[in-house]
Structure 1
């Protein structure tokens, strides 16, 4: 239990709370609840506090996360009430805090088991089908090119018969891990059953999908599992079905990919065969144009400020080069070089952008500037890990293209556009 000031400072805490989060009473008294609350949970907590102070609610209960003194996460159930003075003005909060870490850990373990294949730790069939079905529907709605991939280990029965099922299981594990690494974080990958796996590639046309599949095939071909009977090497065959809103259900698309997989097996195995689904008819992908995630500048993205728009266009161009380098399987040194260039441009852009909207009347300028700093630190951290082979090209792609371009530039930045447009008009009038 704790008594908390209206500003969030700890006024009085009991030993039970100290034991939960690892701080002494004196240490807690010098902090606020905001200091130890996980940042992802803070906005909701503060929203409820404001409702409490405004008299809109009498009490609230919330599951949230605290940071333990040792740095790990503690899940708690928080119940808060407001104590008022005789004149009705707010005096302080009374908080009841219950440690539910064990319960949340168990829930997360059960959730993991419900979606994860126990042997390979990738999505199980049920979760793969559910997630991929939703993504196919979404792709149809937005007319996005997508691809379904069916993957099968060649001569897997011979591996089991020769080396035993224990080694067969290890082959499945290392193969699934390498396939996951070869794909992008945005893709959906799971075990369909036995030695067969499936993948849904998002925003990937025939050329992009074929390139990703071929990279996967080559990487698996280089794997080796050491046994008492010698080294086990193995290959995979891959069938692809690439499509742009064919209006077919996922199971039908998987059948098309399975037909391509059968053809890959028939042609000698250790191959990639790609069928393009157009007008519900499989066709050769040989003449299909490349189709990547769309990173072409559009006038709809413009803010109305010449400097910001010019820098955004440059960032788009570099991101497109990065994406093409990743998808085409260029060396890590080349990917790293482009990512470093993007980081430098992004740092300069964020500095200039902050200067511009700080001069305007944008009310969230300080918070937006902080998000710039956090994003730059995250990019530098992931880039450093990538150069040490501790992060994948997919990690870079997800951070730089998805988080930085899609989530930040195309979403968060739009919040200050009206303010800088007004500011620009005022400058012109002056």
Structure 2
């Protein structure tokens, strides 16, 4: 007799594997494959010596060692929360009091991904609406689907999210009676994952103004995902969206130590409106009773010693060089391919490549052709929400230069060009030279 069926929750049934999992698996299983897929950090620059010194100093003193090895609080190490507050406010050119913030508004999380999930648990019910950029961070899209949330999108241009289009969408939702379902607006505003684009400063202020204006019978929260902020390598820093939320009501600011320091610390943080902190902590306590305490002590020691700032500066040089290598390779390999265009990011890990006339989607011909050539990318289709007809753009690629070496970046772009030539030739189109 077969066993009785296992009954799963609605949320479990709505939760599927991330689309990136297949590509990570392929990268691991295929020797010699150059991966521009997963957004991993540069391995050669991981701060092994700095972390070893910080950990040794903490553990050399029985008092600090025992404190680091004991349970911490759900909200996080007070010293680190104060440091996070100062880091963000200093970058924004304000004092915490200027924007109605204290360390009590900071929560330390197990990476920024945990905060994204917790916020969904606190704010979103099935049928609620969240507005994102198009394209946007596809892992967050999957999380929203898990919560049963409907995702609506607004387009981007070179200056990031089109806030005029956002305003028009909010107006349409108001007229249709659906504004009451809008719970949040999500933006990756620095060197966006996946496009590498950055939200212009004038749009940051306008974003807060729109959230405030359309919060008529309930508050619409802006979720600012600033994971890549500290990896700017061209131009000056821009104030955060949170900077313009001077009453600390409308914006949740999330950051992480994974990208500018070490993902193995698995430590992120959020700055929250006061009335969101308690429900977030209630749920977080059910998850973990507090994120890894030793990692928090190490992060705090790195900041206090100046090692964190020095390492971030070194990383900016590393990623600037890798970006330049990728852009130069694209220019060289795709110079005679007029259907190709790409973004020029001022920071972060990503270049967004558009290939008009070539299907770059997960079921299109370029994925297998690229694998055959020995290179892997993320189909841009993953970053989009299908329209009412079920279609989405299928001529875009996300290229990550984070983990690949400079030699691999150059060779990987050459292989991608070869794959594009093979696809063009197989379509019966005029054969595109594969380059050298």
Q: TM-score, normalised by structure 2?
A: 0.26
Point out the structure with the larger helix share.
1
**Which one has the largest radius of gyration?**
1
Q: TM-score, normalised by structure 1?
A: 0.27
